[in-house]
Amino acid sequence: MHTNTWAVRIGVCTLFMFGFFLPWWPFMFLAPCIALLYGYWVLALFLALCADLVFGAPVGLLHSLIFPCTVAILFSSVVRSVIIRHLR
């Protein structure tokens, strides 16, 4: 189980780096989503913040969010936490 934990963490970071060097941005967005899915919200936030720094502020409607991926991951982690508390 401990091995699985580190496999997920390393895998997610590898996916993020792969997205940066390939380069294909959806991988960089997918990595924090997978990290959040497995419950590693600090890692997910860190990767989302890195992705936002690389992507820059979005153009158009989402411009005012500045860090849209980070905001999305924050929102998702709160929703996940609330759902887990209510389903327990």
Partner 1 sequence: MARTSNPFSSRSVYSTGRKPGGWFSFRSFVFAIVCLVLLGAGVFWHREIESAAWALMSPLQRARVGLDSSDNQRLRAELASTTALLADRNALYQETIELKNRLGRLPAQTSGERILAGVLMRPPAIPYDTLLIDAGETEGVHSGDFVSAGGTTRIGTVGEVYGHTSRVILFSAPGQTYDALLHLSSTTQIVPVSMQGQGSGSFVGQVPAGTPVKVGNSIVFPGVASALAGTVSSVLFDPKQSFVTLYARLPVDLVSLRFVEIEKNSYAH
Residues that bind partner 1 (CB under 8 A): 1-2, 4-5, 8, 20-26, 37-39, 41-42, 45, 49, 53-61, 66-67, 70, 74, 77, 83-84, 87-88
Are 40 and 8 within 8 A, CB to CB? yes
> Considering the complex, what minimum distance in angstroms separates the CB of residue 18 from partner 1?
12
> Considering the complex, what minimum distance in angstroms separates the CB of residue 5 from partner 1?
6
For residues 36 and 24, what is the distance between their CA atoms, to the nearest angstrom? 20
Considering beta carbons, is residue 14 or 57 the nearer one to partner 1? 57
For residues 68 and 76, what is the distance between their CA atoms, to the nearest angstrom? 12
Are 33 and 72 within 8 A, CB to CB? no
